[in-house]
A and B are shown apart, each in its own frame.
Chain A
Amino acid sequence: MLSQHDIQEAERHGRQVYSVYVFEAPLRVWHWVNALLMVILAVTGYLIGKPPPTLAGEAADHYVMGYIRFIHFSASYLFAIGLLARLYWAFVGNRHARQIFLLPFTDKEWWKEVIYELRWYLFLEHTPKKYLGHNPMALLMMFFFFTVFAFGMTLTGFGLFVEFRGAGGIGDWLFGWVVPLLGGSQQTHAWHRLGMWLMMSFAVLHIYAAIREEVLSKHSLISTMISGWRMFKD
């Protein structure tokens, strides 16, 4: 069921209600780039903690850990820049661009929708509701396991990065407080790694839910993140 506002928006776009432009191009590009970066960061990050087996030959012949760390650090810079760009887009983009940053925590109706979605996922409801943007349940998960974690991983990651880059400078000013706050370098590493596992678990869940909704629900999902248009099937 579309809310009144959604219908109005759809009409404003001069289209039929069956297809609405939801995700703008910059947001879609960010989504897929970010997905790629997360995979790269998780794989290289895993390997930094648990490196591949020792290589034979002279040390001068190889640079495995060097490359892994280089990829991890470059990808993390892109991830952080992407996150900032995404934050900027939340201000200038359409209202769906703000979804994952601003949750209507105080809206009782919204919480009812969360419960409804939860019941739908628990097979207690027969018909899925339709939403223009993310469904409330998905949004709740996205907020905690992506938005919060993405900033958390950026802080812990850059905290560790600036620590070994040495005191002083803007990096130290921005992130230098993180490592002492978490009780030292080793502890920060542990939290950063646990964060990686949780984000990856969420990513798997996210992909599963997206495929499932694409199949079962009455509107498009994966294609929406590619084309930007949300199609309603009935």
Chain B
Amino acid sequence: MTETFYEVLRRQGITRRSFLKFCSLTATSLGLSAAAMPRIAHALENKPRTPVLWLHGLECTCCSESFIRSAHPLTKDVVLSMLSLDYDDTLMAAAGHQAEAIIEAVKEKYKGNYIVAVEGNPPLNEDGMFCIQGGRPFVDKLKETCADAKAVIAWGSCASYGCVQAARPNPTRATPINKVITGKPIINVPGCPPIAEVMTGVVTYMLTFDRIPELDRQGRPKMFYGQRIHDKCYRRGHFDAGQFVEAWDDDSAKKGYCLYKMGCKGPTTYNACSSMRWNGGISWPVQSGHGCIGCSEDGFWDKGSFYDRVTGIHQFGIEANADTIGGAIAIGTGAAIAAHAAMTALHSIKNRTATPAQEHKGDQA
């Protein structure tokens, strides 16, 4: 039988005390009550590790980079050991045919009982020729690997929505996982990259409760993507007070006012950055003085400038936003009305002068 997480941890020299601390921390970060902590500990002590196959499609490896930087050393140790990460071509020692053989082995041995984590997405144009792994298109490898999986985790905005490689005009037709894989539960964990603790949190939840976390309309775990950056932002007080950074080097920027006018996408972004923060809670984009770019939102590369509050509308084909289009229409309407009013006035003057003349003519006849 596969080792349990607890056994692996102990083997790696982690004390029971640290282990229990980790369990309560995880329970807290998942928003669970204190009573859940023993359940997490029990699960980690007794459940065999679920094999995870970590695939890489068109991507930049930022998800992996985030994942391995998971803030608490314990988390990193646990996650890298608690998952039986059987295949990850970026991290694994094996290469070539040996590596590819692992996928087949896991598929057979743990049929319907392993998790596929996908970083990046498959390009579909030219029969998937823009991403070749082991001599064949990635899309084929993805479909085959997911066929017997229990669940699929779509890591990052690439796998969830398409991200930069799917940005207009998307030459390779990079396609998010949920449009390629059907009939499997897919957990979208968007972000470019997602927060490390969000990634480990999702995995821990799935292993502890043996089910996928509650998802929202867009397939994201509600516990991490249910709240707006803006609503948990520590600069929110300045927003409500109407105190904004107006230029990058102004006094308001130094005072740490709200970055709304600088195009911060916090008001339209649903992620845990403002509550969990990054790199072990050290900081996050807004705290370092730059607005949120909305990297965990669908199609964020195509939503106009990162530095505009009112952004473009693509259907118009030109870089125009609601204010430029609407303003032009409003001015056009105003001008048309002025012209029309002038015409009306002219007409009524003409009519007034014309009518008596006509009447006069009528009298004569």
Residues of B within 8 A of A166 (CB): 226-227
Q: A185-B297, A190-B310, A208-B337 are in contact. Are A55 and B329 (CB under 8 A)?
A: no
Task: Decide: B299 and A208 in contact? CB cutoff 8 A.
Answer: no
| B269 beta carbon closer than 8 Å to chain A | yes
| B244 beta carbon closer than 8 Å to chain A | yes
Report the interface size for chain A: residues with CB under 8 A from the other chain.
Answer: 49
Task: Decide: B242 and A54 in contact? CB cutoff 8 A.
Answer: yes
B316 to chain A: closest residue by CB: A194
Residues of B within 8 A of A193 (CB): 310, 321-323, 326
Residues of B within 8 A of A197 (CB): 322-323, 325-327, 329-330
Closest 3 CB pairs of A and B: A197-B326, A64-B242, A185-B268
Residues of B within 8 A of A183 (CB): 298-299
Q: Write out, one digit per residue, whether chain B residues 15-47 have a CB within 8 A of any chain A CB (1) or not (0).
A: 000000000000000000000000000000000
| A180 beta carbon closer than 8 Å to chain B | yes
Task: Decide: B322 and A194 in contact? CB cutoff 8 A.
Answer: yes
Task: Decide: A184 and B299 in contact? CB cutoff 8 A.
Answer: yes
Q: A183-B298, A183-B299, A190-B313 are in contact. Are A54 and B243 (CB under 8 A)?
A: yes
**Listed A/B pairs (25) with beta-carbon separation below 8 Å:** A49-B323, A51-B242, A54-B242, A55-B243, A59-B241, A65-B239, A65-B240, A121-B340, A167-B226, A184-B297, A186-B268, A186-B294, A186-B303, A189-B268, A190-B311, A190-B312, A191-B313, A193-B322, A194-B322, A196-B322, A197-B322, A197-B323, A197-B325, A208-B337, A216-B344
Segment of A2-10, A86-94, A98-106, A199-207 engaged in the interface with chain B: A199-207
Q: Write out, one digit per residue, whether chain A residues 152-166 have a CB within 8 A of any chain B CB (1) or not (0).
A: 000000000001101
CA distance A197 to B261 in the complex (A): 20
B246 to chain A: closest residue by CB: A54
| A60 beta carbon closer than 8 Å to chain B | yes
Residues of A within 8 A of B323 (CB): 49-50, 193, 197
Residues of B within 8 A of A66 (CB): 240-241
Segment of B56-64, B141-149, B192-200, B216-224 engaged in the interface with chain A: B216-224
Q: A55-B243, A183-B298 are in contact. Are A194 and B303 (CB under 8 A)?
A: no
Q: A51-B261, A180-B217, A194-B313 are in contact. Are A201 and B329 (CB under 8 A)?
A: yes
**Interface centre among B299, B304, B309, B322, by most A CB within 10 Å?**
B322
Total A-B pairs in contact (CB under 8 Å)? 144
B304 to chain A: closest residue by CB: A186
Q: Write out, one digit per residue, whether chain B residues 127-151 have a CB within 8 A of any chain A CB (1) or not (0).
A: 0000000000000000000000000
User: Nearest chain A CB to B193's CB is how many angstroms away?
Assistant: 19
User: Nearest chain A CB to B63's CB is how many angstroms away?
Assistant: 21
| A61 beta carbon closer than 8 Å to chain B | yes
| B257 beta carbon closer than 8 Å to chain A | yes
CA distance A214 to B218 in the complex (A): 52
User: Nearest chain A CB to B115's CB is how many angstroms away?
Assistant: 24
**Interface centre among A54, A126, A167, by most B CB within 10 Å?**
A54
B261 to chain A: closest residue by CB: A51
Candidates B239, B241, B322; contact of A191 at CB < 8 Å: B322
Q: A196-B326, A197-B322, A216-B348 are in contact. Are A186 and B261 (CB under 8 A)?
A: no
- Contacting B at CB under 8 A, from A42-68, are 49-55, 58-66, 68
